[in-house]
A = this chain, B = another copy of it.
Amino acid sequence: MSLIVQKFGGSSVADAERVFNVAGIVTETYDKGNDIVVVVSAQGDTTDDLIAKGNEINPNASKREHDMLVSAGEQISISLLAMAIEKLGYPVISLLGWQAGFQTSSAHTSARIKRVIPNRIRKELDKKRIVIVAGFQGLSKYDDITTLGRGGSDTSAVALAAAMHADLCQIYTDVEGVYTADPRLVKNAKKLQEISYDEMLELATLGAQVLNNRSVEMAKKYNIELEVLSSLVKAPGTIVKEKVKMEKMLISGVAKDTDIARISIVGVPDEPGFAFKLFSKLSSKNINVDIILQSIGHNGKKDISFTIPKDRAADAEAIVKDYAENIEAKNTFISTEVAKISIVGAGMESHAGVATKMFEALYDAQINIQMIATSEIKVSVLINKKDADRAVAAIHEKFFEQ
């Protein structure tokens, strides 16, 4: 007998039919003799609908009241799922975040889980009940309801699995697992059997948003084995764990991120401190700079280019223009017509030539590389946005289809 935590997202419980589908998965697992705790998000668009209701009344409402409002969403979904499981004839109970023992910081709308004290859950499991827990929510030390921010239900599930020393934490989504590339984009994309926490983290930040990053970090920290799988298609998913079998696979996947912008400053004095001042200005406004490229100095001047999230482009441009004027730089450029293409794989640490193989694929497809960044398990290139899908296909073919 194992203790299994199963998490279902909002689309998995969007209507009565889907709720019964989830009830079927849960009771099938229960029938195999497992103890089960199920973490559920709010149904479909419920959270957005509640936010819209709140915005109609006061778009600047306090975050505390915002959390009070939106947390009603999971209260509805957990009771509906419990009712469906009752209908199938199984013993079940639904618990809100605070009843399930989720203690969080008091940073409303983006609270951090401080600890989970699952006494009530254990008591219900001892009664052989299936336990349904509201994801995404907890209680602050002031006894106020908090929410964890978007994607927080993944984190709820992993935190619970850690606190209860669960044998497995299954994250059910609307995809069948983690793929070597976006299956909507690359026809021959392959589902991975396994992926390491670090690779998963890189893929998440690179836009292949299957799992919430905080949840993967937490799974890594507490060494919780995750399985990403589909609530609609019955098939094994992808296991996320510390060490994976290397096989012949050098890289795990190809990812594309088009939510970025590139900014360039031409004619920065080639002296110490200039770059530092610019980036500290940006970071003081919470603008994350990703890839940075600095040209070799020439005639006492150099050029600096870097990428930032697209939705901060306007803020960043204002800072950069102001800075460029102060230092009498020659010119600034901003472009949102860029894409970052990355390959991720723990295998590349020990295998030379992975980056070369990627560049070769891009050269074969006649795609120009604007910038390059590498880490132990990742190579990213910045290219023209219009080439992005072709680039993913070319790289995927080179690594996975030959």
Contact = CB atoms under 8 A, between A and B. Distances in A.
A71 B80 contact: no
B79 A68 contact: yes
Interface in A48-89: 50, 53-54, 56-58, 60-62, 64-66, 68-69, 71-73, 75-76, 78-80, 82-84, 86-87
B61 A86 contact: yes
Contact of A87 (B16, B58, B64, B76): B58
B75 A62 contact: no
A286 B72 CA distance: 36
A94 interface: yes
A255 interface: no
A58 B54 CA distance: 30
A291 B109 CA distance: 58
Interface in A176-213: none
Contacts of A364: none
Contacts of A144: 99
> How many identical subunits does the complex contain?
2
A126 interface: no
B72 A19 contact: no
Given A99-B143, A143-B99, A143-B120, A68 B58 contact: no
A47 to B, nearest CB: 12
A65 B19 CA distance: 15
A93 interface: yes
Interface of A is mostly: helix
Interface in A205-228: none
A94 B72 CA distance: 13
Nearest to A81: B57
A76 B72 contact: yes
Contact of A76 (B16, B69, B86, B96): B69
A79 B65 contact: yes
A83 to B, nearest CB: 4
Contact of A54 (B56, B79, B143): B79
B87 A61 contact: yes
A20 interface: yes
A20 B16 CA distance: 34
B71 A58 contact: no
A75 B72 contact: yes
B93 A64 contact: yes
Contacts of A16: 56-57
Q: Which of A56, A58, A62 has the most CB atoms of chain B within a 10 A radius of its CB?
A: A58
Nearest to A55: B83
A145 B143 CA distance: 16
Nearest to A120: B143
Nearest to A139: B99
A130 to B, nearest CB: 12
12 contacts: A16-B56, A53-B76, A54-B79, A57-B80, A58-B84, A62-B82, A62-B83, A62-B86, A66-B79, A69-B79, A72-B72, A96-B145
